[in-house]
Structure 1
Amino acid sequence: MSHRCDSPKRQKTEPEPVDEVLPEQSASHLSSTTPFPLHEKTTFSPPTSRLSSKRSSSPTRETPIILRSAWPPVVVEGLNGLKVAPPMHVERLGDLLADGVDSHFIPKGLEHVIKSDPDVGYQVIKPADYDSGDIRSADELTALWETVKNLFLNARDCKDCNRDENAWCNDVLQPLIHLVMRIYGNKQWWFQSVQSQSINPAYLSAIPGPTPNDANCLKLVDRKIDYALSYSHRHPAYSSLYSRLTAANKEEVSHSHDTFTKRTALFSGFEVKPAYGVHAEAELQMSIWIAAALCKKQQLASTAQLLFEPAAMVEPAFTVIGHEHYVYYAYPQNELVAGRSGVHVLGPDSDRFEKLGTDSIRGIFRLVRLYGNLLQYGTDDGEDGYWGGFLGVVLEKLASTSPV
């Protein structure tokens, strides 16, 4: 498993540095009916943090509008009020993730211990929350309870003691997802810290950023997130696939610039803020990350010469602000803005998932079910699953091609 380093966390309101982008690298790898007109005088400028130590303006106020006008555009908007209903694939994914999140998610065998454990105090549990069909042994239930109780106590301390982002990551989200992986993951997943990793500039959106010396200069919109799920290279099936991809000279399968991660298939993403963090900023960081991920995956599908309906590539992503967890859906969309194709990010889905959080035992068990559904969707090899319906198909085709 990947662990966070002990170094101080980055200042997330600063633009992140990226490697040099060559003039011939198009900022738009998404198909577009009106691609950005690059020419020999067009240049890219790195984010300002690479040019100056002066603190830049926060992305919270400016980036939503900028992203809408970028190449390719990234549009973030709520589900309610959309002029056109979300695609069927988005609706189906939302229903799949919500399955069992509102009922029968706590083993019935834990009812007495939840009510009697003085460490967690009074807890509101509805009768329909308990699952009478859970057949875990007493030892399994004891181990489960100890983990959930510690999660609750850690989250409470983080909130009451006004702890920072690292604490919420290390003491709450990491153990939560690791618990989910033990229950639902079948050793297929890594929960990977990507907070120190740059996005490959080829998959970032660009905006006009003229300078006194270059009127055609473009500025890349780059932000990082904290975690992503990856298909574990230690799992036999994925290890074999990665080996075959390398043999076919198609080993770079993610949008990360990191030496290891760019050779690892990624899924979803999590941006974490402390309880006093800014939700809008987390949403923007997540949106930039997931848009770049989808841009890369569209390129992989194109290289494999496989056609997919853009909405079939829908991928969930998450923001976490203290106790509260929010669900989003991202997918490529043709003619998203003024005839230009880009990535549509919808959410948070606050109607299917009312008040998801770690501030109660009940809330933690709901999150375990939600993220369990997420892992199952990511590895589902059926036609409606993410692996069997899209990513696995693409990677297998790439692995079977002759080296270029």
Structure 2
Amino acid sequence: MCPGEAVTVPVDDVLPEQSASQISSNTPFALYEKNIFSPPTSRLSSSPKRSSSPTRETPIILRSAWPPVIVESLNGLKDAPPTHVERLGDRLVEGVDFGFIPKGLEQVIKADLNVGYQTIKPADFDAGDRRSANELTALWETVRDIFLNARDCKDGNRDENAWCDDVVQPLLRLAMHLYGNTRWWLQSVQSQSISPAYLSAIPASTPNDATRHKLIDRKTDYVLSYSPCDPTILALYKRLVAANRGEISHTLDTFTKRTALFSGFEVKPAYGVHTEAELQMSIWIAASLRKKQQLAHAAEVLFEPAAMAEPAFTVVGHEHYVYYAYPQDDLVAGRSGVHVLGPDSDRFEKLGTDSIRGIFRLVRLYGNLLKYGIDGVEEGYWGGFLGLVLEKLAS
């Protein structure tokens, strides 16, 4: 089978309107489902047995699935991360640790009683920032509101929807306003299903069907898409449709599957489980990369798998975590799959919305993400990979 080609395996019927939380014998395996994949003899044992936690079981299942997905820490890897991953991390961290707050806001922050005392280092301020007074006022009001909303979400023990709507979404939209111009569209994909062709599967044979497989499926919260509001992107989408190549993403949604997607964000409340967020994010980004491999194969564009490295993020309450995902040949016992490395806690120390400086750091991080994703030069994601593939398909 050619590299990057979508794989078809016998799976249960999965309808676009089905949620992974709707569990039945005919729905995909979900992270919250407490399935135990132990040998039949152990299940027949009469001795009492502790049920397996889904957050402990699923990483093993993902590793043994076809295609496999491995999520592991950067530290302790047998082999050093690919050069492309290292370069990507260095690019995302630029300016995240110094010069990320306009100098003109120094006294404003100190004088605002609503946010209280804030620990900010002298090196955090950018004396070269030349924004007008009106621009600084608008920026400060947005950052202050994000901080106050995040504090209320934490103190009020608010749910995932509150964190999404009142904290994460305004934060990403601020980064888009400052760094993304009209090139980006932030999409909520909480209700959208991944196409079964790009999901991992595990054997689930029955007495009547020895070849039956079951999908490992879970949704995520947000994704960045290359915006059809941008004239250049819109023209590309129209040419792709004319070339009968309109379906370019891994989702089943009528709109989203016709837009190019980048990265992904899984959000949990402060009381949420980070491992669950990590697993949902890894399932999403792995499916996205498989679709892009398929597109590259169809376009007859050859790439080293690591050159497709893509950032992805988890958010649990205040804390934000950075991951890098890329296809890898011979990932598990000769099987190719997707390798997810992270979180990158050394390069990005304590990213969070529990402080004003933390929010400004995140704005810079996500600004770097946006600039990388749309960069048309060879070192950028658009110019070095995705844009080349889509232009070839459109021609």
Asked whether the two chains share a fold, i.e. TM above 0.5, the reply is yes
Q: In the alignment, which of 123, 133, 140 is matched to residue 128 of structure 1?
A: 123
Q: Which residue of 1 aligns with 2:45?
A: none
Cα deviation, residue 353, structure 1: 0.5
Q: Equivalent residue for 2:182?
A: 187
How far apart are the structure 2 equivalents of 1:56 and 1:151? 34
Q: Does residue 172 of structure 2 align to residue 177 of structure 1?
A: yes
Paired letter, 1:216: T
- Name 2:375's counterpart in structure 1: 380
Name the residue aligned to 1:215: 210
User: Are 1:276 and 2:271 counterparts?
Assistant: yes
From 216, 219, 222, the counterpart of 1:224: 219
Q: Which amino acid aligns with 1:287?
A: S
Query: What are structure 2's unaligned runs of at least 5 residues?
Result: 15-19, 35-52
Give the superposition deviation at 1:287: 0.1
SS in 1 for 2:23: helix
Q: Map 1:141-152; keep pairs closer than 5 Å.
A: 141-152=136-147
Aligned-pair distance for 1:116?
1.0
- In the alignment, does 2:34 pair up with 1:60? no
Find the counterpart in structure 2 of residue 82 from structure 1: 77
Matched position secondary structure for 1:190: strand
Which residue of structure 2 aligns with residue 329 of structure 1? 324
Which ranges of structure 1 fall in alignment gaps of 5 or more residues?
A: 1-25
Distance 1:319 1:29 in 2: 29
Give how far 1:210 is off: 1.5
Q: Secondary structure at the match of 1:49?
A: coil
Contact 2:285 2:325 in 1 (8 A): yes
Change in 2 beyond 3 A, CA 1:69/1:29: farther
Report the Cα distance in structure 1 between the residues aligned to 2:128 and 2:366, rounded to whole angstroms: 20
1:13-39: CA deviation from partner (whole Å, max 9, x where unpaired): xxxxxxxxxxxxx9x97469xx99x6x
Alpha-carbon displacement from aligned partner over 1:218-260 (angstroms, at most 9, x marks no partner): 0011010000000001100100000000000000000000000
Amino acid at match of 1:49: I
Q: Secondary structure of 1:219's match?
A: strand
Question: 1:389 matched to which residue of 2?
Answer: 384
RMSD between aligned residues: 1.9
Partner SS, residue 173 of structure 1: helix
CA contact (8 A) 1:30 1:341 kept: no
Residues 80, 338 of structure 1: CA spacing in aligned structure 2 closer, same or farther, 3 A cutoff?
A: same
- The Cα offsets for residues 74-105 of structure 1, whole Å up to 9 and x where unpaired, read as 00000000010000000000000000000000
The structure-2 alpha-carbon separation of the partners of 1:343 and 1:248, relative to structure 1 and needing over 3 Å to count, comes to: same
In structure 2, which of residues 358, 361, 370 is the aligned counterpart of residue 363 of structure 1? Answer: 358
* Aligned partners of 2:4 and 2:297 also within 8 Å: no
Counterpart position of 1:51: 25
User: CA–CA distance in 2 between the matches of 1:224 and 1:67?
Assistant: 15
Cα distance change of structure 1 residues 249 and 351 upon mapping to structure 2, 3 Å threshold: same
The match for 2:309 is 314
Cα distance 1:80–1:294, how it changes in 2: closer, same or farther (>3 A)? same
CA distance in 2, matches of 1:328, 1:43: 29
**Alignment equivalent of 1:260, drawn from 255, 258, 261:** 255
Structure 2 residue identity aligned to 1:298: Q
Partner SS for 2:267:
strand
Residue 213 of structure 1 and its aligned partner are, at CA, apart by 2.4
1:211 Cα offset (Å): 2.2
Match of 1:340 among 335, 339, 345: 335
Alignment of 1:2-13 (within 5 A): none
Report runs of 4+ in structure 1 exceeding 3 Å deviation. 28-32, 42-48, 50-55
Q: Is the 8 A contact 1:29 1:203 kept in 2?
A: no
TM-score, normalising length: structure 1? 0.88
* Paired position in structure 1 for 2:246: 251
CA change 1:138–1:63 in 2 (3 A) is same
Question: What is the CA–CA distance in structure 2 between the aligned matches of 1:82 and 1:130, rounded to whole Å?
Answer: 36
Instruction: Please say which of residues 207-216 and 350-359 is displaced more in the overlay.
Output: 207-216
Percent pairwise identity: 74
Q: What is the identity, as a one-letter code, of the residue corresponding to 2:61? A: I
The amino acid that maps onto 1:114 is I
- TM-score, normalised with respect to structure 2: 0.90
